[in-house]
Amino acid sequence: MSGGVDSSTTAWLLKEKGYEVLGATMCIGVTDKTPGSPARCCGLADIEDARRVALQLEIPFYVIHLREEFEEKVIRYFCEEYAQGKTPNPCILCNEKVKFGSFLEKALELEADLLATGHYARLDYNERIGRFLLRKGVDRKKDQSYVLFSLTQDQFRHTLFPLGELRKEEVREKAFRLGLRVHDKPESQEVCFIQETSYHSFLSERLREPIESGPILDKDGNILGRHKGIPFYTIGQRRGLRLAKGKPLYVIQIDRERNAIVVGGEEDVRGDTFLVDSVNWIAAPETIPLQNAHVKIRYNHPGSEASISPKGEGEWEVKFKSPQKAITPGQAAVFYDGDTVLGGGWIKEVLS
């Protein structure tokens, strides 16, 4: 229970269906947001909101302390990826390693059988192939299957997604009718452990090595200016380059070895072929349509048709049928067949 409308309504739905429900919240050491900053989850005020909802629903409530695990598995990853010139997605690692990792382990120690969350996704068990299959939520605008691609079959075995068949407006309506105080609570929009509107100061404080400026280059290697440090840039970025060249310029490459940012025109941001590693297959390998999968390269990417083929040990090559904007190392590439998640991996390198 994060203290928001989704997990609160989830608890009520399960109790209504006859489950014995225990409410539990992760405490990961996040301080409350500063006035005027975007809404974030997991602060002390959110824990208190969850506690009040549990009291209203008359269910037991636990606070599970996972600060060390979150620091080690999420924050450290976040900083190290940026230091390497990549753009991380901490929500995916939080789900895999903390929420459905350490938190699930604690829930099982409390003799719970299942962990239910407010994610907008669906989970089915296919008896023919003997596997759980992850599918998009009915509410396509809120679908969160992308950030769940790395979960294992054993994690799915202990998981429920009660909101997968509902739309967000239905959830808020149910919460309003129940009189839940969080029915109109704003959604969390930003990285929960960063209080500022920019992550730059957070990285400056956390990274072990100093962040050094370096050259901004064009495709031919000409120096156009200076950047503030490669952790502060991502592929496709336009703002903050401070270059006046008569046309829009975008980051098209981050060269860690030369400590350089390479820029080009909008046409240079697009690519069609890249490598992924650390692939997790959810569907049975023999059932996967590798030649015409639908691939998403970031959470808000609509997805596009692509072929997927093995490329060396532990790596797969993804080739879009039409070029896509800002294929970004460090982000996840998630493979779909219709609304079913086939699997996914981490973008390692853009080939063309």
Write out pLDDT tens, residues 2-12. 999 999 999 99
**Which residues are bridge partners to 64 per DSSP?**
26
Average pLDDT of adjacent 10-residue blocks, the chain of 352 residues? 96 97 92 54 84 96 96 95 95 97 96 97 94 97 97 98 98 95 83 80 90 96 96 94 88 96 96 97 81 94 96 92 97 96 97 94
Query: Collapsing DSSP states into helix, strand and coil, what is residue 107?
Result: helix
> What pLDDT is stored for residue 44 in this prediction?
82
Predicted pLDDT of residue 33:
56
Active site residues: 94, 192
Burial class of 287 by CB neighbour count within 10 A (0 to 12, 13 to 18, 19+):
middle
Strands 270-281 and 293-296: unpaired
**Topology annotation, domain 212-264:** SH3 type barrels. (2.30.30)
Q: Give the pLDDT score at 195.
A: 74
Q: Report the pLDDT value the prediction gives residue 30, as an integer from 0 to 100.
A: 72
User: Is the CATH code 3.40.50.300 the one for domain 5-178?
Assistant: no
- Provide the pLDDT for residue 193: 84
Domain-by-domain residue ranges, the chain? 5-178, 212-264, 270-350
Query: In this predicted structure, what is the pLDDT of residue 188?
Result: 74
200: CB partners within 8 A, 6+ apart: 228, 231, 232
DSSP per residue, 22-82: -EEEEE--PPPPPTTSPP-SSSHHHHHHHHHHHHHHT--EEEEE-HHHHIIIIIHHHHHHH
Residues 6+ apart with CB under 8 A from 234: 87, 251, 254, 326, 328
Residue 149, CA distances (Å) to 146, 180, 341, 342 in order: 6, 31, 7, 8
The pTM of this model reads: 0.93
Listed as own residue / partner, the contacts of 41-44 with beta carbons closer than 8 Å and 24 or more positions apart are 41/2, 41/3, 41/4, 41/188, 41/192, 42/2, 42/192, 42/193, 43/192
Which homologous superfamily is 270-350 in? Translation factors (2.40.30.10)
